């Protein structure tokens, strides 16, 4: 009895010597240690995930900027191709108009040559008929014939040397005209082929631009999802990083309320060691009673 009283008094003095600002039990200390470790590891993991997410968002934004720049370059190239195609179309139209004019001029000249040929044929027929009449008339004496009588077709004979000259000029111009027509046809074929090539290139460029736009929309969707994930992770990190003092105050209030319920309203404040001893005594008594 004396030993027990002495040990109790020593424990009471030691309890008064220890500060009693925050009465914690062993279970509370373990729980706080586990909670502190979980919060710290969760905070580290959240911090790492936030850094990785921000890095991935920066990389995706760089990809989006590069795709937008490439899209602008492709649009500019497509606009240049369209302008070139319009110029080629105007050149083809001018070539068609020039070929039509040359063809009409050639047709007019051929018509004129045909009419001139008919006129010359008639003149030759008239000359031939006059020559036949002259051959059919018997020759008369020199005295009876008029001294200065001109032949009946002298005017037609004077106009004959002029016509072959014009015909020769026309024949000399025909090869040059035919060569010009051939050259214009070749140029028209080349322009048409170039226009077809430009049209195909423009269609391919437009398809490539459409593909880039679809890829850009997909990347923008990924960027939006990553931003939402980063926002959610930041909110989770902010909610997980609570001060340790709040947790300690909550545990202190819980222990104080439980001690009040056990000792009653008129009991004085006791040390944590006395509370632990009382709980151990109650547990042993319950175990003996149950045995």
* Short-list 112, 71, 88, CA closest to 214: 71
The yes-or-no verdict on residue 2 having pLDDT over 50 is no
Tokens 């051929």, located at residue: 110
The b-or-e profile of 111-134 (16+ CB within 10 A means b, else e) is eeeeeeeeebeebeeeeeebeeee
- pLDDT, tens digit (0-9, with 9 covering 90-100), for 205-217: 888 888 888 888 8
- pLDDT, tens digit (0-9, with 9 covering 90-100), for 186-200: 888 888 888 888 888
Q: What percent of the chain has pLDDT over 70?
A: 50
pLDDT at residue 253, rounded to an integer: 64
The yes-or-no verdict on residue 51 having pLDDT over 70 is no
- Could you tell me which residues come within 8 angstroms of residue 237 by beta carbon, excluding any fewer than 6 positions away? 43, 46, 47, 50
Mean pLDDT score across all residues of the chain: 69
Residue 226's pLDDT band (boundaries 50, 70, 90)?
confident
pLDDT at residue 286, rounded to an integer: 61
For residues 126 and 156, the answer to whether their CB atoms sit within 8 Å is yes
- In sequence order, what E strands does the chain have? none
Q: Is the pTM of this model over 0.85?
A: no
The yes-or-no verdict on residue 154 having pLDDT over 50 is no
What domains appear along the chain, each with residue ranges and CATH number?
26-135+161-246 (1.10.287)
pLDDT at residue 236, rounded to an integer: 77
Cα(92)–Cα(187) distance, integer angstroms: 9
Tokens 């008639």, located at residue: 122
Cα(131)–Cα(125) distance, integer angstroms: 10
Residue 115's pLDDT band (boundaries 50, 70, 90)?
confident
DSSP per-residue letters across 103-155:
HHHHHHHHHHHHHHHHHHHHHHHHHHHHHHHHHHSPP--TTTS-TTPPPTTHH
pLDDT at residue 136, rounded to an integer: 67
- Could you tell me which residues come within 8 angstroms of residue 154 by beta carbon, excluding any fewer than 6 positions away? none
């Amino acid at each position: 009895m004396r030993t027990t009283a002495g040990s109790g008094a020593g424990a009471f003095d030691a309890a008064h010597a220890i500060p009693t600002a925050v009465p914690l039990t062993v279970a509370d200390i373990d729980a706080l240690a586990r909670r502190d470790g979980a919060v710290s590891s969760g905070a580290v993991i959240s911090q790492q995930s936030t850094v990785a997410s921000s890095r991935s968002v920066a990389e995706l934004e760089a990809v989006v900027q590069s795709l937008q720049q490439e899209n602008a370059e492709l649009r500019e190239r497509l606009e240049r191709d369209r302008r070139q195609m319009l110029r080629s179309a105007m050149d083809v139209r001018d070539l068609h108009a020039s070929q039509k004019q040359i063809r009409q001029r050639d047709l007019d000249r051929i018509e004129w040559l045909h009419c001139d040929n008919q006129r010359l044929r008639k003149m030759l027929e008239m000359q031939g008929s006059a020559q036949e009449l002259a051959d059919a008339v018997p020759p008369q004496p020199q005295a009876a014939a008029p001294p200065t009588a001109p032949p009946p077709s002298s005017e037609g004979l004077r106009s004959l040397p002029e016509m072959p000259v014009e015909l020769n000029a026309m024949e000399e111009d025909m090869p040059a005209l035919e060569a010009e027509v051939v050259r214009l046809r070749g140029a028209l074929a080349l322009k048409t082929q170039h226009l077809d090539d430009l049209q195909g290139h423009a269609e391919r460029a437009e398809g490539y631009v459409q593909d880039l736009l679809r890829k850009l929309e997909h990347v923008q969707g990924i960027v939006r999802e990553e931003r939402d994930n980063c926002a959610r992770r930041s909110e989770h990190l902010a909610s997980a990083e609570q001060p340790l003092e709040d947790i300690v105050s909550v545990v202190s209030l819980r222990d104080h309320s439980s001690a009040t319920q056990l000792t009653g309203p008129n009991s004085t404040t006791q040390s944590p060691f006395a509370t632990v001893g009382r709980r151990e005594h109650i547990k042993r008594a319950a175990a003996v009673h149950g045995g």
